[in-house]
Amino acid sequence: MTDDRPSPDALLRAARRAGRGRLKIFLGAAPGVGKTFEMLREGAERLAAGVDVVLAIVETHGRAETEALVTPFEVVPRRLIDYQGHQLAEMDLDAVLARRPALALVDEFAHTNVTGSRHPKRWQDVAELRDAGIDVYTTLNIQHVESLNDVVASFTRVRVRETVPDGVFDDAEIEVVDLPPDELIERLRAGKVYVPAEATRALDRFFSKANLSALREMALRRAAESVDRAMLDDLDAAAIPGTFAGGERVLVAVSELAGADALVRVGKRLADALKAPWQAVFIETPRAAAFKDDQRRAVAQTLSLAASLGATIATVPAASVTEGLLTHIDGMRATQLVIGRSVRTAWFRLRHGSVVDRVLVASRNLAVHVIPAGPTPPPARVSDWTSGWSGPGDYAIAALLIAATVGLGKLSEPLIGAGGIDLLFLLPVIIVASRFGFRPGIAASLLAGLAYNFFFLVPLYTFTIADPQSVLTQFVLIGIAAFSATLTDRLRARARIGTRSAEENAAIAAFGQALARVSDWERTSATVCEEMHRLLGVPIVLLNWQEGEAQVAAQCPADAPILTPVDRAAADWAWSRGEAAGAGTGTLVAADWQFQPLKTALGVLAVVAIGRQPSGDPIGADRAMLLTTLLGQAALSHERLRLEDEVREVSVLKERDRLRAALLSSIGHDLRTPLTAVAASIDSLARQAPASPDIATARAEVDRLRRFLDNLLDMVRIDTGALNVELEPVDLTDAVAAAAADLRDVLAGHPIDLHVPPDLPLVTVDPVLLHHILINLLANAAVHGAADGRIAIIGHRTIDGVTLALRDQGPGLPPGPPDAIFETFVRGAGSDRRGGSGLGLAISKGFADAMGVRIDARNGPEGGAEFVLRFDAVAASPV
């Protein structure tokens, strides 16, 4: 029976949307497709229609056609925020809230706000505007969606750092601003997206035709998913039946028959081909209660396989497979059904019909994929026919009830007459069927018919029936009694399934509440074991890994069996592979336990060992959904604890870094004054004994100590984000000469090979920071290079911009990754000879990153270390 009531969840989501402003996202595949232009155009149409529209913030990027559309709007002035000595303009959130327009246009949804803003991200500003009831139009590129970040980086080789969570799409209207790749490339070449020099580099990298085509497909699919989800919410809220195949949804119906695993694999391939969500469902009918152990195990393994392949799984209780499957199809609004069909005899189809045929007849707008589900099931054995007949006591009770009914009939016959006594015999049949099941109920109906014939039909006390009408009455009574027994048994089975579902839901809710009340690893582990043991009735052990070995974190009961070496091997498999292993799975089945990993986005956090049931079997299919849900909640609780630990660790690290920065800053400033006094004393002594070699040594060491203190202060500035970057065109020839002049004492005895062409383009950098970088690199070459070794400084012009390489003749980089040399307090070979703080290269790396300059370390072609500064095409300025 179809439930035509609106979905409560959909109604709640609709109610939440009604209290907020609407969000419309203009989604594009890449910059330059016209998102801002389209947003402004639609905003102008709303403004012309009388809607109160303001321009909260927009970035025109100097495009004339976009700037022309800004003119009609009221523009909210931007807020200026001081940051590292600069004033940066951001959207004035408070001003927009105070203005309270009907519609606000907010460009660049994924933008990161400057430090000092109320929210770190612009999408959070938009959320506050919507909470105030203001509608918002905004723009977004598909590569900024959090869940697609890794996918985009895998083929563009560019990782976008400004992202928005996928949840922003939940109640947003999506409009795809589409432009074919060829047209976008033409816009780039025409300089309508970037300046020509930058556009050439972009075409060679991010804006290749293959990348744009992939991004375009992702944008269209993401929009289709959002539209499909919004449509389903509207349909559920209005209780409108039907498939409404705006997007594909795959359902796989599994059973206990052989070949069900093949159905799951077909469903997986179909879902992957359609890029659609999919689900595996098992319809649990009263017949499932009579499943044998191998049938239950087959269902459990099939559902487990589906879950491992990425499907959601469900077990749906229903009176019949057809009824349950059709109801679930309607609720899920599936568009594709994968179902198996086993070979059955004509006699079986005549008696039971075909689920596939019924689904084909009853379903509409549903593509049904019928897959052969294996060979014909073997005929029932004699033991199958004789099983399930209940015990002799049940039939004895049925006979006693019939006897009591005979006595009651004899007593009431003078009052109600012989014609009404037959109805009394329905009462014991219903009681027996509801209490003991179908077969005792049928037996009771036959016995009731015989008793009625023997004691109340003429001639009495014989089974002979004299009146033809009484023959009809006899058979009608037996038929009605049998029907009553059948109906009562079905109602009993439905009640049993419904009761168990309610109990499982209550148990899951209680399990979640128990986990929510604990906030440490020890109590969480104990709670997981105790609650799962109580709900599943099997021994539970929770395993963690420390130093590569499994350790028991908790167990219930306390005297649970000890894990054998085979069990531990299965546990290691579950931990390392993130897959179930042990009893009842397809891996290391000789183990006595079943091991389920608690797998989250952070990886496998623990492994739950599940003991066998008293019958010796693993968790059956009737408990598979319960087990999956319990494992999911246990994994979430462990993930919460791990994240809380990481937050605490980050807080400790931040405090430690703050104290370290304060200490280093204090040391640097406190030592500068006595160092100045020492330098003055050395100068005074130099005037008295100018030829003394000790004076030169002392002066060199004071200069080295001064550079060390400068490095300490620079490191503090980098760590605290206090760098003041002022970019301007710089001639590399002059920059190298100035750095070498300042280090003439340190570089004494090191010949300098200068190969920096005078016609190199100017580079846009901070001259002070570049000077520090060159001084540190030259000092590093002098300290770690060969004694009296040459130092080469080589400049090149490349396709991407300009490179500047500094090469020494020392032993080269230490073993390990080249980038490790840029870590703080890392010193290379040769540091023991001349000394080194381990800060110079780290500071150079920090300064280079602040200016957008890339610095690499490698071993030179003729030995020695080589450090290369790369000023790309964006930073390079023509002469």
Q: Is 29 helix (H, G, I), strand (E, B) or coil?
A: coil
Q: Position 779: which residue type?
A: A
Residue 299 pLDDT level (bands cut at 50, 70, 90):
confident
pLDDT at 682 exceeding the cut of 70: yes
Confidence of residue 844 (pLDDT cuts 50, 70, 90): confident
Residue 651: what pLDDT? 75
Question: In angstroms, what CA-CA distances link 599 with 543, 548, 584?
Answer: 13, 18, 19
Tell me which residue of 865, 806, 861, 859 sits closest to 831, measured CA to CA. 865
Q: What number is the average pLDDT over the span 839-854?
A: 82
**Phi/psi zone of residue 731: left (φ > 0), alpha (ψ -120 to 50 degrees), beta?**
beta
At residue 714, the pLDDT reads 67
pLDDT digits 0-9 by tens, 504-525: 777 778 888 888 888 889 999 9
Range of 657-671, 675-689, 698-712 with top mean pLDDT? 675-689
Task: Work out the burial of residue 144: count CB atoms within 10 Å of its CB; fewer than 13 is exposed, 13-18 middle, 19 or more buried.
Answer: buried
Tell me the pLDDT band of 234, cut-offs 50, 70 and 90: low
| Of the candidates 127, 221, 135, 112, the residue with the CA atom closest to the CA atom of residue 167 | 127
* pLDDT tier at 779, thresholds 50, 70, 90: confident
Could you tell me what percent of the chain has a pLDDT over 70? 78
User: What is d(CA 288, CA 315) in angstroms, rounded to the nearest whole number?
Assistant: 12
Given strand 603-610, what is the order of strands in its sheet? 549-556, 540-546, 603-610, 594-600, 581-582
Which residues are registered as beta bridge partners of 363? Answer: none
pLDDT tier, 56 (very low <50, low <70, confident <90, very high otherwise): very high
Is 390:439 a contact under the CB 8 Å cutoff? yes
Phi, psi at 552, each rounded to 5° = -75, 115
> What value does the mean pLDDT take over residues 676-700?
77
Q: Output the pLDDT for position 383.
A: 41
- CA atoms in the 13 A half-sphere facing the CB of 286: 16
Question: What pLDDT does residue 337 have?
Answer: 93
- The residue that leads in pLDDT, 529 or 718, is 529
Q: Please write the tens of the pLDDT for every residue from 463-477.
A: 776 666 666 766 776
Residues 348-382 pLDDT 10s: 666 667 888 888 888 777 889 998 865 555 554 44
DSSP output for 561-621: PPPPHHHHHHHHHHHHH-S-EETTSSS-TTSSSEEEEEEETTEEEEEEEEPPPTTS----G
Q: Which of 135-149, 442-456, 651-665 has the highest mean pLDDT?
A: 135-149
**Order of all β-strands in the sheet with 728-730:** 728-730, 762-765, 876-877
Give Cα 742 distance to the centre of its chain: 54
pLDDT category at 794 given cuts 50, 70, 90 is very high
What per-residue confidence (pLDDT) applies to 200? 46
Residue 309 tokens read as 């392949």
- Give me the count of residues in the chain: 879
- At residue 833, the pLDDT reads 37
Q: Which residues make Cβ contacts (< 8 Å) with residue 62, sequence separation at least 6?
A: none
Would you place residue 441 in the very low, low, confident or very high pLDDT band (cuts 50, 70, 90)? Answer: confident
Pairing of strands 86-90, 79-83: antiparallel
C-alpha to C-alpha distance for 142 and 148, rounded to whole angstroms: 8
Q: Minimum mean pLDDT among 35-49, 62-76, 227-241, 468-482: which range?
A: 227-241
Mean pLDDT of 814-836: 61
Q: 557 preceded by cis ω (within 30°)?
A: yes
Edge-first strand order for the sheet with 791-797 is: 752-755, 791-797, 801-807, 865-872, 854-859
Q: Measure Cα distances from 115 to 112, 124, 525 in Å.
A: 9, 14, 40
Kindly state the helix (H) or strand (E) to which residue 412 belongs, with its residue range: helix 392-416
Percentage, residues of the chain above pLDDT 90: 15
- Across the beta sheet with 74-75, the strand order is 74-75, 53-57, 103-106, 135-141, 23-28, 172-177
Higher per-residue pLDDT: 425 or 370:
370
- Comparing 617 with 174, the larger pLDDT belongs to 174
Listed range (111-120, 300-309, 620-629, 835-844) with the worst mean pLDDT? 835-844
pLDDT range class, residue 606, cuts 50, 70, 90: very high
* Lowest mean pLDDT, pick from 234-248, 528-542, 644-658: 234-248
Half-sphere exposure of 98 (CA within 13 A, CB side): 6
Residue-level pLDDT at 867: 92
pLDDT over threshold 70, residue 838: no
What average pLDDT does the segment 291-310 reach? 77
Residue 55: predicted pLDDT: 93
Burial class (CB within 10 angstroms; exposed 0-12, middle 13-18, buried 19+) of 621? buried
- Do residues 512 and 640 make contact, with C-beta atoms less than 8 angstroms apart? no
Whether 224 contacts 246, CB under 8 Å: yes
pLDDT-derived band at 202 (thresholds 50, 70, 90) equals: very low
Tell me how far apart the alpha carbons of residues 473 and 452 are, in angstroms, rounded to a whole number. 10
The answer to whether residue 400 scores a pLDDT higher than 80 is yes
Average model confidence (pLDDT) for the chain? 78
Is the Cβ–Cβ distance between 485 and 430 less than 8 Å? yes
Convert 143-200 into a string of H (helix), E (strand) and C (coil): HHEHHHHHHHHHHHCCCCCCCECHHHHCCEEEEEECCCHHHHHHHHHCCCCCCHHHHH
Q: Which of 749, 778, 765 is closest to 840 using CA atoms?
A: 778
Alpha-carbon gap, residue 579 to 585, rounded angstroms: 10
Residue 197: its pLDDT value, please? 45
Q: How far apart are the first and last CA of the chain?
A: 80
Average pLDDT over residues 486-499: 71
Least confident residue range of 372-381, 498-507, 769-778, 786-795:
372-381
- Rounded (5°) CA angle 147-152-155: 150
User: What distance in Å separates the CA atoms of residue 412 and residue 583, rounded to the nearest whole number?
Assistant: 62
564-602 residue pLDDT tens: 999 999 999 999 988 888 887 778 888 889 999 998 877
Residue 103 has pLDDT above 90, yes or no: yes
Q: Identify the helix (H) or strand (E) that includes residue 659.
A: helix 624-688
User: In the prediction, which pLDDT does 51 show?
Assistant: 93
- How far apart CA 532 and CA 628 sit, in angstroms, is 11
Contacts of 119 (CB under 8 A, 6+ apart): 93, 113, 125, 128
Q: Residue 861 and residue 602: Cα distance in Å, rounded?
A: 42
